[in-house]
Structure 1
Amino acid sequence: MNKPLTAEDIRAAKSANTGKRDRDLADSLGISEAELVAAHVGTTPGMTVTRIDAHPDAVMPRLTALGEVMALTRNASCVHERVGTFETYKSGPHASMVLGKEIDTRIFPKFWTFGFAIENETEKGIRRTLQFFDASGDALQKIFLRDGSNHDAWQPLVDVLALEDQSPEIAVEPRQPTEGAKINADKRDILVEEWARMTDTHQFNRLAAKLGMNRLGAYRLAGAPFVRKIKPEAVADFLDAVSAAHQKVVLFVGNRGNIQIHWGTLDTIKPMGPWLNVLDPRFNLHLRGDHLAEVYVVDKPTKRGPAVSLEAFDADGGLIFQCFGQRENDDDDLAQWHQILADLPEA
């Protein structure tokens, strides 16, 4: 068995691999990203790291003081970056949320385990970020200050959130495997019957769980008229079509602790290698096209009419993203959005 890496070992590896992203370097070292960051707690050459309270109730109400920032949420296949100001925070025992014109998130606090305030010296000056991780050391959300942020609010925020424990080592739990599709084939008739009676999209997860299924399992089982399987490579065409039509969307990307939502258009589409990118001034999306294993057009009844989404899953059954059409006004029947989805080729 290999001897565990010490904080000193990790710092040495970071110094020797300055061009590598933290996530990639951590993977190559066989550690979590949170362990890599924690190893730098204190002041090391070019870097100052402070361990901070990670609970959203402590953090989120204080972020407004920073002004305009970039909020980043990702999973293994997709990165969602949104520029804006953290506005209204609503706490909940199981789920919390940030509501605002541009920063819109759904938070599951029990997974927020480690928090860090990081200052990096770069060629462009000091880069300040807040980073939050789950018990396995996987990133939940990162918040980057920008040139126009209120940098005067940084140190007071760090001071009030700083923990007594500033040790450079943390104990992480084994990463939980992704739950694959759960199907209860005997319950298809009940699934389809109750699906047809839904009045809100949030009823779906409760319905699937009640029948011993999860999202992907229910999609595989239900089929027409509520679910249509799409060729994964058609997602690139979908992004181009949304861009060309100036169709506003509601795009969800998340992990087990945080879901981040973009409202608006997807204007500048730029594929690069395996990545499908949206590169707009206040919103960026980086999607691994080669990770798209199953893609579905899903129709859920609501009081306002059908909520039709495009949803993508990886090879392990993990949800990569969900995308809905955004209504321009109460009279918008989303005909353009429905046509974009109808044009996608079936798998």
Structure 2
Amino acid sequence: MTEQVPNTPAQIRAANAQNSGKRDRDLAESIGLTEGQLVAAFAGNDVTRLTAKLDDIFPMLNGLGEVMALTRNISCVIEKVGQYDNYHSGAHASMVLTDEIDLRMFPSHWVHAFAIERKTDSGVKRSLQVFDAAGDAVHKIFLREGSDLDHWDQLVSALASEDQSQTLDVEPRKPTETPKANPEKADILRAEWAKMTDTHQFMRLTSKLKMNRLGAYRIAGEPLARELTPSAISPMFDQVRDKEIEVMIFVGNRGCIEIHGGRIGTIKQMGPWFNVLDPRFNLHLRTDHIAEVWAVTKPTQRGPAVSVEAFDAEGGLIFQIFGRRAGESDHRPIWNELVAALEPQPEAALT
């Protein structure tokens, strides 16, 4: 007998009460809902529905003081502590640019937003959470001990939506785009790739050739793209830590990309989760989800940009990591040497 999916807000809240130890995302998945639907069921209790417009939300975030910013996809979570500031609005893409919180946001995917005030054994936990049209998390902001609670109250009041219903209409999830290559245009790809002067030109190039990122990597060949063994990821992070290399780590989804710039410190493996657990930066990575890893070189005016990029079995991008140039310090040469020495995928080594 299959378990019936809760289909009323009261049933959803009852299911939550019976599984209070589970994270929202895990509970929602286990009962056949999206996380956004689970959160919406508590509207009018400890949840307030908000406008999801970036231009309304982001000018108010600075007043919260120090918070934690979280962005995730199904395989990786990035968390950064800092203060929101330096917001740049855009119709198709917006940005937050600070030393600690560095975001690229795509407004069309910011569809549902909620302010959550949840009572726990350690006190009330407050967060602002945004979901896409399917009800999947795009970005979350968690208040910390020193955050300004008066400003939080002002923010919730100012951004509260007229719609405080406890149900959420969601659209079907859009499937991950499978790797798309055009072998007949491989020579054109390599020639145009070699002429690039900025990494942002890459997506325009692949689009013009009717390819996507992973499809292009598969046919480009060295020295532009070299396939690595997925087992190279853990020792790569170990070396970044041990050599004190400053890097840039990009983790995101369709609606938001969050970036860590700097060193990494404490590394811990916990079951399938590979974790970086630093005071103001956490990374949680499901290494068992990694199906392909590529070392990629893109020409720029400031020298080659070398990245390591991990993909899941469906071809979805899990994360990217680059060497970082910060002020007068350039950590890219030692990073480039590290990447060049990473273990290739055995099949690739035989071809």
TM-score by length of 1: 0.97
Of 256, 259, 272, the residue aligned with 2:257 is 259
8 Å contact 2:64–2:149 — kept in the other structure? yes
CA contact (8 A) 2:71 2:256 kept: yes
Q: How does 1:3-14 map to 2 (within 5 A)?
A: 5-14=7-16
Gaps of 5+ in 2: 346-351
For residue 175 of structure 1, give the secondary structure of its aligned residue in structure 2. Answer: coil
- Confirm whether residue 243 of structure 1 aligns to residue 245 of structure 2: no
CA distance in 2, matches of 1:16, 1:160: 34
For residues 19 and 185 of structure 1, the distance between their equivalents in structure 2, rounded to whole angstroms, comes to 50
The two structures, once aligned, show a CA RMSD in angstroms of: 1.2
How far is 1:273 from its partner? 0.6
User: For the structure 1 residues 159 and 52, does the alpha-carbon distance in structure 2 shift closer, same or farther, using more than 3 Å as the test?
Assistant: same
Shift of 1:266: 1.0
Is 1:29 matched up with 2:39?
Answer: no
Residue 122 of structure 1: aligned partner? 120
Asked if 1:49 is matched to 2:51, the reply is: no
The equivalent residue for 1:62 is 60
**Aligned counterparts of 1:26 and 1:167: Cα–Cα separation in 2:** 18
Give CA deviations for 1:90-127 in whole Å, capped at 9, x if unaligned: 11110000111211100000010000000011111111
Ranges in structure 1 where 5+ consecutive residues have no aligned partner: none
- Provide the C-alpha distance between the structure 1 equivalents of 2:83 and 2:72, rounded to a whole number of angstroms: 19
Q: Which one of 292, 295, 320 corresponds to residue 294 of structure 1? A: 292
Contact map agreement 2:128 2:142 (CA 8 A) in 1? yes
Counterpart contact for 1:61–1:88, Cα < 8 Å:
no
Q: Which letter maps to 2:43?
A: V
**Conservation of the 8 A alpha-carbon contact between 2:118 and 2:125:** yes
Aligned residue type for 2:25: R
- Matched residue, 2:207: 209
Indicate the SS of the match to 1:233. Answer: helix
Matched residue, 1:345: 343
- 8 Å CA contact 2:6–2:31 kept in 1: the answer is no
The letter of the residue matching 1:308 is: V
Residues 197 and 160 of structure 1: CA distance in aligned 2, closer, same or farther (over 3 Å): same
Structure 2 counterpart of 1:346, one-letter code:
P
Is the contact between residue 252 and residue 321 of structure 1 (CA under 8 Å) also seen in structure 2? yes
Q: Alignment partner of 2:87: what SS? A: strand
Aligned length, in residue pairs = 343
Quote the offset at 1:3 in angstroms: 6.8
- C-alpha contact 1:86 1:100 (8 A) present in aligned 2: yes
Paired amino acid for 1:166:
Q
Amino acid at match of 1:296: W
Q: In 1, distance between residues paired with 2:65 and 2:265?
A: 25
Residue deviations 1:222-258 (CA, integer Å, cap 9, x gap): 0111001000011001110100011000110000000
Per the normalisation by structure 2, the TM-score is: 0.96
Aligned to 2:218: 220
Q: Quick one: which amino acid aligns to residue 183 of structure 2?
A: A
